[in-house]
Amino acid sequence: MKAELIAVGTEILLGEITDTNTPFIARELANLGIDVYFQSTVGDNPERLEDTIKLAAKRSDLVILSGGLGPTEDDLTKQTVASFLHRELVTDRTAMAKIERYFSETQRTMTENNRLQAMYLKGAKPLSNRTGFAVGIFDQEIQGPDFLLLPGPPSELEPMMMEQVLPLLKKTYLGDHVLRSRVLRFFGIGESQLTTELADLIATQSNPTIAPYAKQNEVTLRLTAWAQTDTDAQKKLNDCENRIQALVGKFFYGYGEHNSLAQVVATHLIKQQLTIAVVEGYTAGRFSTALDEFSDEKNVFDGGFILATNTEKKQSLIGEFNVSASKSSVEKMANCLKKKTKSDLSIVISHASTEKVSSGEQVGSVWIAISDKNENISAKKYNFSTIRPATKQRIVLNALQQLNDILK
């Protein structure tokens, strides 16, 4: 089973955007045991696209194209595949109804190109697009390779892949044994440290396989097991996970390919019916945004303050709060905030203070205090190098972890 990936889009050829779809699809196929021998990128040009499809069709069993399903004149992927296969395009009624509804709601004018987004190859399987408008297409050919067409925006491609394509590929190509994956997520440990801790396990383990991936500020492990039944596969995964948790469990925070510390914390708050109020100094709204992503409409978030950079001026406005980065001040703030807002919990993230250490380098520190529903206060200081970027997002993750330790 050889798959080949083709990314379509002049903006990729020009380096205007980085194609994250190809590595994403490649990783998911690798998990299924489907080999990818070639990846290529071609612009929005029908001749060169057709040449690329011809070459792929000669050497591969499954040709996966991403991009070029949108409503602009540049978007030619499905027309080109249809012409290559000598097939016509037909309309998916459900997809068309969704597009029509959107244009009627927003009172915009719909063009013929917009209708094209709802069309698919006659005889193929249309894949609905939960987060966008262009349908995906899975086409099984009796002679020649199968074709899979996916929309270009990752926000559309990734859910379509996880929810529809992977089950379809498993059913189509993997027959009657089952394949089960489990993703474990870790924060506070780097990829190299994690793989060092698990080196023996990773080396000796073949079913399940253990694949580590470094993500922004966190690491995930994907375990993939093959078995005759779901029960057997789950048992293999459980045994393997137990061995991993025994070694690095203290850095583990949750399961799933699409999960995050913010989501785990928001879910705890929702389930335990707790509210939280926030004061943010250094992070200037990022913590509130992170929680809001997952607690929207759920009344979890009890409002917050973002502290001004020019501190004294703001003292009068927010009463007893002050923003200096010290243990006692963040603890006092957390108590005061909880009382004023009558929230179940409160969290205070101070402004950063920087200092020179003995080596002469500058380091920064931020205090985070959380007051929980039993009036217990946890306050911690986080240090960071001022030369390392993306620190604000990392402080948000530390705050979420500190909160998660209280809630879990």
CA of residue 407 relative to chain centroid, distance: 23
Which CB sits closer to its own copies, 246 or 387? 387
Which CB sits closer to its own copies, 88 or 296? 296
Least Å distance between CB 231 and its own copies? 27
Contacts of residue 191, defined as CB under 8 A and 6 or more positions apart, other chains included, come to: 212, 213, 214, 219
Contacts of residue 373, defined as CB under 8 A and 6 or more positions apart, other chains included, come to: 274, 344, 345
How far apart are alpha carbons 406 and 371 in whole angstroms?
10
Least Å distance between CB 402 and its own copies? 18
Instruction: State the first-to-last Cα distance of the chain, in angstroms, to the nearest integer.
Output: 43
Specify the DSSP class assigned to residue 42.
Answer: E
Least Å distance between CB 120 and its own copies? 21
Which CB sits closer to its own copies, 52 or 80? 52
Least Å distance between CB 35 and its own copies? 8
Least Å distance between CB 371 and its own copies? 16
Which CB sits closer to its own copies, 233 or 277? 277
Least Å distance between CB 272 and its own copies? 16
Which CB sits closer to its own copies, 87 or 286? 286
Which CB sits closer to its own copies, 140 or 209? 209
Among 230, 255, 229, CA closest to 241: 255
Least Å distance between CB 87 and its own copies? 26
CA dist 215 → 187, 218, 219 (Å): 10, 5, 5
Specify the 3-state DSSP secondary structure of 48.
helix
Least Å distance between CB 37 and its own copies? 6
Which CB sits closer to its own copies, 88 or 320? 320
CA dist 287 → 327, 332, 349 (Å): 19, 20, 9
Which CB sits closer to its own copies, 34 or 81? 34
**Dihedral sign computed on CA atoms, order 58, 62, 68, 69:** positive
Among 165, 78, 166, 75, CA closest to 128: 165
Contacts of residue 59, defined as CB under 8 A and 6 or more positions apart, other chains included, come to: 2, 4, 37, 38
Least Å distance between CB 275 and its own copies? 7
Which CB sits closer to its own copies, 328 or 362? 362
Q: Read off the tokens for 156.
A: 């559309």
Which CB sits closer to its own copies, 23 or 249? 23
- DSSP bridge pairs for 235: none
CB contact at 8 A, 147 and 132: no
Q: Read off the tokens for 145.
A: 């390779």
Specify the DSSP class assigned to residue 95.
Answer: H
Q: Return the amino acid letter for 145.
A: P
Least Å distance between CB 4 and its own copies? 10
How far apart are alpha carbons 96 and 114 in whole angstroms?
9
